[in-house]
Amino acid sequence: MKFLFLQGKRPPEMHRELEGVFKDNAPSEQTVRKWFRLFQEGRTSVEDNERSGRPLEASSPEVVQQVEMLLAEDRRQTCKDLAERANISAGSIHTILQRDLDKQKKFSKWVPKLLTEEQRNVRATISRSHFRRNRRDSSFLERIVAGDETWVYSWDPETKAQSAEWRSPGSPRPQKAIRKQTSLKVMHIMFFDVHGVILNWAVPPGTRVNGPYYQWVIREKLRPAIRRKRRQLLENGVILLHDNAPVHVTRSLLDMLDAWDWEVLQHPPYSPDLSPCDFFLFPQLKKKLRGIRFDTANEIEHAVKE
């Protein structure tokens, strides 16, 4: 590597020449790049750096305790970082973390918002209230009509789980190109209850879903659909469940629902996992449509309806 570096070759070319001579025994391109960088920084020796004495016994209680203390300072440290600070190998660190400390590397998950203490208390209070009400009123769940809006694209890529294949242990993993959603999309406003979908309304292209439009959908589309499909709901009283989006809480809409004696169920802020549309209806719907290409808005609407 030093010889090829002095010839003025770049890491990819160095790696190719080493592979041509040493075949499977050639160093990896990552190693070539590492030494290329060291030579650029002025290093002349190709020998390993001297270690500072005999390393500690990796499995000793003292080392395990030291690693635990280092990890408590920063849980995002890598095995390499911990190994340098504890003066043991990265492999030993990995063994200590898994075997002795019972730790796992867990990735962060995206959430809509990190709730404050007050918001978490409100979420718990509302949830307990609904739970108690369901125990007292056997018709509570049957009166709920959940609704929301969602975009449906003309093409949505399949998930990695949907692309999984059964292969033998030695076979390579299947590859899948990263592709984005297409620009053609249709917004659907849907409402459903425990018995199924009540309304599936495709918003015409170019239409802005604001407060007045959403109120029009409730008045001209949802209420007639309930009258046709769930007449008993109008008699028992509709409990409307939607999130706290601005278009859902306009004063004119709330006055209209109050005049009809429709109840709006309390929904904790920033809690899509408590909305049946967001955690149940829309994911199940879009899972069926992923990987299928639609050429027109009408095809999208037909597929969603089916």
**71-103 pLDDT per residue, tens:** 888 888 888 889 888 888 888 888 899 888 999
**Cβ atoms 264, 240 nearer than 8 A:** yes
Tell me what the mean pLDDT of segment 177-194 comes to. 86
State the average pLDDT for the chain: 89
pLDDT tens-digit readout, 187-213: 999 999 999 999 999 999 899 999 999
Q: How many angstroms separate the Cα of 186 from the Cα of each of 13, 189, 209, 286?
A: 50, 10, 12, 13
The partner residues of 143 in beta bridges, in order of sequence, read none
Q: pLDDT band at 57, cuts 50/70/90?
A: low
Tell me what the mean pLDDT of segment 238-267 comes to. 94
Please state, for a pLDDT cut of 90, what percent of the chain lies above it: 53
How confident is the model at residue 174, as a pLDDT? 79
How confident is the model at residue 54, as a pLDDT? 52
**Cβ atoms 244, 269 nearer than 8 A:** yes
- Asked if pLDDT for residue 136 goes beyond 90, the answer is yes
How confident is the model at residue 51, as a pLDDT? 58
- Asked if pLDDT for residue 271 goes beyond 80, the answer is yes
- Asked if pLDDT for residue 159 goes beyond 80, the answer is no
Higher pLDDT, 121 or 47: 121
Sequence-distant (6+) residues with CB within 8 A of 47 are none
Least confident of 33-37, 142-146, 165-169, 193-197: 165-169
Q: How many angstroms separate the Cα of 56 from the Cα of each of 42, 53, 68, 106?
A: 32, 9, 16, 28
Neighbours of 153 (CB within 10 A): 19
Q: pLDDT band at 256, cuts 50/70/90?
A: very high
Q: pLDDT band at 46, cuts 50/70/90?
A: confident
How confident is the model at residue 18, as a pLDDT? 92
How confident is the model at residue 253, as a pLDDT? 96
- Asked if pLDDT for residue 255 goes beyond 90, the answer is yes
Q: pLDDT band at 282, cuts 50/70/90?
A: very high
How confident is the model at residue 62, as a pLDDT? 87
pTM over 0.95: no
How confident is the model at residue 114, as a pLDDT? 84
**Cβ atoms 267, 241 nearer than 8 A:** yes
- Using DSSP's 3-state secondary structure scheme, residue 24 falls into helix
AA identity, residue 270: Y
